[in-house]
Structure 1
Amino acid sequence: MDRRGHILFVDAFDSFANNIVGLLEKSLHVQVTVVRIDDEDVAGDLNTVLKSFDAVVVGPGPGHPSIPTDVGLINKLWALQNADILPILGICLGFQSLALAHGADVTRLERPRHGIVSKVSHNGSDIFENLGDLHATQYHSLRVDISKDCHIDCSSPSVYWQPTEACPSLRPLAWDVNDDVNGPILMALQHTEKPFWGVQFHPESICTSKEGARMIQNWWRLANAWSFSERRNEARIQFLGITLNDTNSSHGLDTTKNCTHPVSHLAQELQSIIGTREPLLRWAKHPAERVSPVDLCEVLGMHRDEIVMLDSQGHKSGRFSILGIVIPGKTMKLTYNAWNRTLRYGFRISEEFVMNLDSIDQVWPILQEALDLHDPSRQQGRSHTSNESGGAYRTGLDCSIAGSRPLECPFWGGFMGYISYEAGLESIQVELHESCAYSRVPDLNFAFIHRSIVIDHATNQIYVQSLLPDDWTWILDVGMAIDGLISRLKLNSTRVSQPLTSITKEAFERSAAEHAGLETRLRLARIEKPDESQYRAKVLDCQKALSAGDSYELCLTDETEIRIPRLDYKPLNPWSLYKKLRRKNPAPFGSFLRLSNAVVVGSSPERFLNWDRSGHCEFRPIKGTVKKSAEMTKEQAHKILNSSKEQAENLMIVDLIRHDLSGVIGAANCTVSKLMVIEEYETVYQLVSVIEGQLPSDTSDYDSPRGLDVLKASLPPGSMTGAPKKRSCELLRDIEQRPRGIYSGVLGYMDIGGGGDFSVVIRSAVHGPTCSADRSADDTWFIGAGGAVTIQSTDEAEFLEMEVKAMSALTTFQPERE
């Protein structure tokens, strides 16, 4: 029998809860069970449930401890009597709730402390025994007042460390005396008679010093000592009445194993394309010196069709570019609408399968099943081509390639597309704004790619790949086109000092005419930007919510609308627009997507999530932006990005992403390899962090978490929401009152070999179908932009930051001087 300690963690819908669970597991070597504050089964029989546990930790969360819905079952813990009492530690909201239940006031700080790292002053007693200097992260808008109307004399130590007349059962243990605006802030306390403790700060934060973990160990030692003295350990029983999950319920993996009907049907449809043979990746490799994906797309004539192109745009931080080729009648396309929860998939629109689902959770297993079906690791090293047409020659090629895979190539085929912001909202049970009912852009939009071309810009290699039987002719034809393209590029480079991006004189003239046509159209564009007064008012609304304790940070956004008249009933050529964006604002995660009536022209600097075939995961959140200009030196930009406001923004998102990732793979498997590093891009300086994790290496165990589990648990991107994520998204929905759509979502691929890579859809322009049937109606494009509002923000600065970010993509729509 497992004799480890057993702790019940009460989650108040916070976005740092999994980090606390990880800290408890690592520091105390205990088993932790998580319940939510609204768990009616636990609340209904709390005394019996608690008999299974050695102690309880009450976590942080949004709101105020006096509001019943914000604390749920927490108040029942402080009312425990006699034999039902057990050691309890409250953190942040848990600390405030403990204090409120025992006579203290909980009031608003004059200036909230969100993402602030400060020294905690303690007297070295109780849970702070033998601790050195403790620097801790704070995320709170409220303060605990145990003196009530009494004046706190900051110079009197006795006031700090003794209970007050107003709250005789609460003894102060620590204070923050470094805030000139708020004055001394109570940071920790203990109940004088019961084994109840509380801390206002966050011991689990990445920026809290190691003394935070030592404080947790001290608490556990004192908790066990109390239990031993009260003989509680002898009375503990094994509880079997109610089943509790040992993980955060929002990150459970059960939904990945259910919904067998839609999974099996889509799998059968995809199976019909490859037949009954084992999956086989057919591929060839070619040199790729100076070849860009744009050149390749145009040479192969793919830029006029549906396609998903992920383009590193020649950026120093980018390595691979991927062309996902959509084949009419053979490429399975899948869309999902989050408003009416309708899933559609098929090879042709006329033969689409339509399903009404209960939730988006039923979609993820469909995607995973299709990927597993084509996993080339199932190849047995033998050819299964005897039933294929094409003769001995193609059977020979299949035999030569069977069992061999380009391991250095990150994508062999699979799903390419995007997940909208609203799809992410549904995944965390946030109701959508009513305006989403009128959106005609899919919230999930993927194509299952059988044919792909991957360019490795670091090694100058091109991989031409197909999962389709009898497809060597296509692979060889593309190879010849690549060879011809390289030859012409080399010829051009000997004639001029710089290589031409267009291949022939005719192509150059055609490109020039195309660009001239684009500029003519753009001169007719009508651009409607967000109203400054309205946006600044929304910033102030965000700060009201921050002051109330409902959020630590809110990523407010708005959108610019560009209307372009059609000429001769023809819309603007998005490919021309993409080439201009690529030239003006190159970034490592560029994208051109034309799929299922949606178009994305993107130049994103931000990777959301990458996971490779070995299970290594990486997030690269960006928070903190400074625009480049003649007046803005690199030193000035570094000074701004190292300010407390910018650092706090980034820190909050790092802690949030650690929570998301830990909920899937466990905190022990998560690390922060870069914390708030300044990176330079074409038009801005940005503050970047890197969070990494490791999935189980045994992918044959289908109950083990996969990369797709990390993806769905992390939506929508924390850098586009705020924290705590769920409450923040609800606040932003009510403040923005519009769907964000593809903007703020993620775009990328899921590879059949087990990898995946998604960027955040920012610095991008989006076009979708309109409700108008008038072919002469304007083309409408949207550019979303925004920024993280904190309590240190100013409404003017936030508006200017939003404009700077929007301009990265909006510059593309501004006509160049003649």
Structure 2
Amino acid sequence: MAVAVLVIDNQDSFTLNIVEALRAAGARVRVQPNTERPRWEGIEAVVISPGPGHPGTPADVGTSVEALRRGLPVLGVCLGHQLMAQECGGTVGRVTPAHGVTSRIYHDGSDLFSGLPQGFEAVRYHSLAVTEVPEALEVTARTPEGVVMGLRHRERPWWGVQFHPESVGAPEAVRVIHRFVEMVRQRRRRLRVHHRHLRDCVLDAPEAYRRLCAGRDYSFWLDDSTGRGYSYLGVTAAQAPPGAEAAAVEAPGLPCAPVLGWVGYLTYPAGRHFRFADATVAVGPTGVHLLALEEARLDDLQEALSRPAPGGAPGPAGAAGEKRAGARPVLRCADSKEAYLAKIARLQRSIAAGETYEACLTTRLRGPSPGLGLADYLALRAANPTPYGAYLRWGGTQIMSTSPETFLRVRAGVAESRPIKGTRPRGDTPEADAALRADLAANPKDRAENLMVVDLVRHDLTRVARPGTVRAEPLFEVETYAAAHQLVSTVRAELAATPWELIDAAFPGGSMTGAPKKRTMEILAGLEEGERGVYSGAIGYVAVDGTVDLSMTIRTLVEEDGELSYGVGGAILAASDPEAEYREIVTKAQPVRAVADVEFP
């Protein structure tokens, strides 16, 4: 697997030459300007580029300094090298300017310089240099005149060079970059998934959650409430251990997915809220299983499950065992019927003008929260069984999802997305229900709606797929859930990228935007009231072995800042019947009626 390197660009004109050298050394490179907060998911090393200015000037180094606080291997070049010294208490001052000058480099033969001859040539572009070396760093290379050309941290995985190893003027120096990539590859962690099957344990998922997670912030329950698959429960830590992003993982013979890694959610249009789970309980068809990256954590999990839940004896799996005191919350649609129909009309005018083909218009049901909790999620899951349920307590946010939709799934390097477009309510009689299902399966408008999203998803996956591997099959399957029939298609591809690059390529999901994605999102932003936030995002995990399961955040109740919200929406096409589209959002609000009263003004 290629080494994943983040290059922080300090607004230099040579940065992409460094990128090319890294790629030639076998690295997979992401470049971010120093004006942006770095995205660390999947990154195992950093290069801080050259650039103008002084390392003590915040505007000159921007977010480069964050790279020195992550515990990752770092190579600093020129300004990046100087920044390391500055951060450790050293001094960077003026020296005789050297721009486009070739100098001989004398070194200690360690690390970056292993295998390079003494006195090899390198090109310099600088007027500043490290003039006082702090105690935390040691000098690894100098010019014949004594100017510091190389530094290494005594404890941290930091290396710096003052010269420009990427310059074509001294091609031997590029071996420094190749050595850095090789050093990172050699440092890769090896992780083992430890597993224990509690054969005599009869706890169901709700009771396991009570014992393991009750009252804990940043706890999760990724919930298959159909009984056909596994549910995963645990409590997360803020950050992953260094090197986890690219570790070699051994996970032998597991009956369930190795849900150890990053758990959390994405918010629309681009927010990420993931934390690291190093130990998880899986509950499913073969009983209770414990998973952990350290064997001692299995004992911690087993002990937690052996203790009675806080508050006394366990309750039933359904909501009847835990009643919330007080009145039911009332959720009121943010748009009146007239306002929603007017927005549909505006979208259809945009479609007629060629601005978009399909737009997923949404609205929110909102109301004050009386203080929800586990009992409310249990009521939701009992009324709406789904393989993609979730209950997350994430700081001040609670998320209760009964989503039926797969946003992204990765198994053994194959990515899968199963967009849903097309909905019918359940019928009051078996005959009526069958008729609604048959109509959904054959309706040209619903099939067109679904097809446009399928083609959009194919486009998104092609960005990160091995050539020729993107497939869309089966198409237009009808799946039946407690509150609705849904039209579902499946798109698969063999991945040629990391899970995080897949997420970057595919998010937000096409079934929640429409097509073409970028222009349609801009149009929707001008129509919808406020940010969608959690709704229209995704919930799930990215495991350390590359396994991924993320659901689309629909049919989801969110409690945040004392307010409840529940998003509903539908795809608008030229052929859409506005009245039918309004009826569809009423249908999609049906699941939340298990815990709240709903008003459509």
Alignment TM-score, normalising by the size of structure 2: 0.65
SS at match of 2:381: helix
1:663 CA drift (Å) = 1.4
**In structure 1, what is the equivalent of residue 425 of structure 2?**
627
Q: Does 1:413 align with 2:196?
A: no
How has the CA–CA distance of structure 1 residues 373 and 805 changed in structure 2, closer, same or farther, with 3 Å as cutoff?
same
Letter in 2 for 1:517: R
- Structure 2 Cα separation of the partners of residues 596 and 259 of structure 1: 30
Letter in 1 for 2:408: L
Alignment of 1:534-549 (within 5 A): 534-549=339-354
How has the CA–CA distance of structure 1 residues 727 and 477 changed in structure 2, closer, same or farther, with 3 Å as cutoff?
same
1:531 CA drift (Å) = 0.9
How has the CA–CA distance of structure 1 residues 418 and 472 changed in structure 2, closer, same or farther, with 3 Å as cutoff?
closer
Q: Is the 8 A contact 1:628 1:685 kept in 2?
A: yes
How has the CA–CA distance of structure 1 residues 526 and 556 changed in structure 2, closer, same or farther, with 3 Å as cutoff?
closer
Q: 2:541 aligns with which of 749, 758, 775?
A: 749
- Structure 1 Cα separation of the partners of residues 503 and 581 of structure 2: 29
Answer 1 or 2: higher relative contact order, Cα 8 Å, separation at least 6. Answer: 1
Letter in 2 for 1:324: G
- Structure 2 Cα separation of the partners of residues 642 and 286 of structure 1: 47
SS at match of 1:787: strand
Q: 2:359 aligns with which of 545, 554, 567?
A: 554
**In structure 2, what is the equivalent of residue 640 of structure 1?**
440
SS at match of 2:476: strand
Deviations 1:347-400 (A, max 9, x none): xxxxxxxxxxxxxxxxxxxx89754355434xxxxxxxxxxxxxxxxxxxxxxx
**In structure 2, what is the equivalent of residue 708 of structure 1?**
500
How has the CA–CA distance of structure 1 residues 683 and 297 changed in structure 2, closer, same or farther, with 3 Å as cutoff?
same
Q: Is the 8 A contact 1:763 1:785 kept in 2?
A: yes
- Structure 1 Cα separation of the partners of residues 188 and 436 of structure 2: 63
**In structure 2, what is the equivalent of residue 463 of structure 1?**
289
Q: Give the RMSD, CA atoms, in angstroms.
A: 3.4
**In structure 2, what is the equivalent of residue 814 of structure 1?**
597
Q: 2:212 aligns with which of 300, 311, 329?
A: 300
Q: Is the 8 A contact 2:235 2:277 kept in 1?
A: yes
**In structure 1, what is the equivalent of residue 573 of structure 2?**
790
How has the CA–CA distance of structure 1 residues 411 and 277 changed in structure 2, closer, same or farther, with 3 Å as cutoff?
closer
Q: Does 1:764 align with 2:592?
A: no
How has the CA–CA distance of structure 1 residues 371 and 528 changed in structure 2, closer, same or farther, with 3 Å as cutoff?
same
1:659 CA drift (Å) = 0.4
Alignment of 1:659-674 (within 5 A): 659-674=459-474
1:794 CA drift (Å) = 1.6
Aligned length: 432
**In structure 1, what is the equivalent of residue 392 of structure 2?**
593
**In structure 2, what is the equivalent of residue 732 of structure 1?**
524
Q: Is the 8 A contact 1:527 1:563 kept in 2?
A: no
- Structure 2 Cα separation of the partners of residues 636 and 583 of structure 1: 24
- Structure 2 Cα separation of the partners of residues 421 and 473 of structure 1: 38
Q: Does 1:720 align with 2:478?
A: no
1:755 CA drift (Å) = 1.0
- Give the number of the structure whose residues are more often strand, by fraction: 2
- Give the number of the structure whose residues are more often helix, by fraction: 1
- Structure 2 Cα separation of the partners of residues 370 and 562 of structure 1: 43
Q: Does 1:313 align with 2:111?
A: no
- Structure 2 Cα separation of the partners of residues 685 and 277 of structure 1: 46
Letter in 2 for 1:559: R
**In structure 1, what is the equivalent of residue 249 of structure 2?**
376
Q: 1:286 aligns with which of 191, 194, 198?
A: 198
1:305 CA drift (Å) = 4.0
Q: 1:610 aligns with which of 409, 433, 455?
A: 409
Letter in 1 for 2:339: Q
Q: Does 1:658 align with 2:458?
A: yes
SS at match of 1:618: strand
SS at match of 2:206: helix
Alignment of 1:181-580 (within 5 A): 260=47, 262=66, 265-267=69-71, 279-287=191-199, 291-300=203-212, 302=214, 304-314=216-226, 316=228, 319-326=229-236, 331-332=237-238, 371-372=244-245, 374-377=247-250, 405-423=252-270, 443-457=271-285, 460-468=286-294, 470-478=296-304, 480=306, 506-508=313-315, 515-518=322-325, 520-522=326-328, 525=330, 527-565=332-370, 572-580=371-379
SS at match of 1:296: helix
- Structure 2 Cα separation of the partners of residues 622 and 674 of structure 1: 13
- Structure 2 Cα separation of the partners of residues 254 and 715 of structure 1: 19
1:281 CA drift (Å) = 3.4
SS at match of 1:742: strand
1:526 CA drift (Å) = 5.9
- Structure 2 Cα separation of the partners of residues 546 and 420 of structure 1: 27
Moved more, 667-676 or 277-286: 277-286
Deviations 1:652-688 (A, max 9, x none): 0010000001111145011112101111111111100
Alignment TM-score, normalising by the size of structure 1: 0.49
Letter in 2 for 1:633: D
- Structure 1 Cα separation of the partners of residues 215 and 248 of structure 2: 29
1:711 CA drift (Å) = 1.5
1:284 CA drift (Å) = 1.1
- Structure 2 Cα separation of the partners of residues 810 and 511 of structure 1: 16
How has the CA–CA distance of structure 1 residues 374 and 768 changed in structure 2, closer, same or farther, with 3 Å as cutoff?
farther
How has the CA–CA distance of structure 1 residues 692 and 288 changed in structure 2, closer, same or farther, with 3 Å as cutoff?
farther
Instruction: Please tell me whether Structure 1 or Structure 2 has the larger radius of gyration of its CA atoms.
Output: 1
How has the CA–CA distance of structure 1 residues 513 and 716 changed in structure 2, closer, same or farther, with 3 Å as cutoff?
closer
**In structure 1, what is the equivalent of residue 91 of structure 2?**
none
Deviations 1:250-304 (A, max 9, x none): x9965677855646633459x99xx998544333122388643212112335355
- Structure 1 Cα separation of the partners of residues 29 and 310 of structure 2: 52
- Structure 2 Cα separation of the partners of residues 589 and 454 of structure 1: 14
SS at match of 1:405: coil
1:314 CA drift (Å) = 2.2
Letter in 2 for 1:322: Y
Q: Is the 8 A contact 1:411 1:454 kept in 2?
A: no
1:561 CA drift (Å) = 0.3
Q: Is the 8 A contact 1:679 1:688 kept in 2?
A: yes
Q: Is the 8 A contact 1:266 1:370 kept in 2?
A: no
- Structure 2 Cα separation of the partners of residues 285 and 792 of structure 1: 53
- Structure 1 Cα separation of the partners of residues 368 and 292 of structure 2: 39
1:322 CA drift (Å) = 0.9
Q: Is the 8 A contact 2:258 2:291 kept in 1?
A: no
- Structure 1 Cα separation of the partners of residues 189 and 506 of structure 2: 36
**In structure 2, what is the equivalent of residue 359 of structure 1?**
none
1:479 CA drift (Å) = 6.4
1:504 CA drift (Å) = 12
SS at match of 1:664: coil
Letter in 1 for 2:291: Q
Deviations 1:558-586 (A, max 9, x none): 00002245xxxxxx132111011011111
- Structure 2 Cα separation of the partners of residues 762 and 526 of structure 1: 16
SS at match of 1:732: helix
- Structure 2 Cα separation of the partners of residues 560 and 420 of structure 1: 17
Q: Is the 8 A contact 1:622 1:686 kept in 2?
A: yes
1:476 CA drift (Å) = 4.1
Q: Is the 8 A contact 2:263 2:541 kept in 1?
A: yes
Q: Is the 8 A contact 1:783 1:810 kept in 2?
A: no
Q: Is the 8 A contact 1:743 1:762 kept in 2?
A: yes
- Structure 2 Cα separation of the partners of residues 290 and 471 of structure 1: 20
How has the CA–CA distance of structure 1 residues 742 and 605 changed in structure 2, closer, same or farther, with 3 Å as cutoff?
same
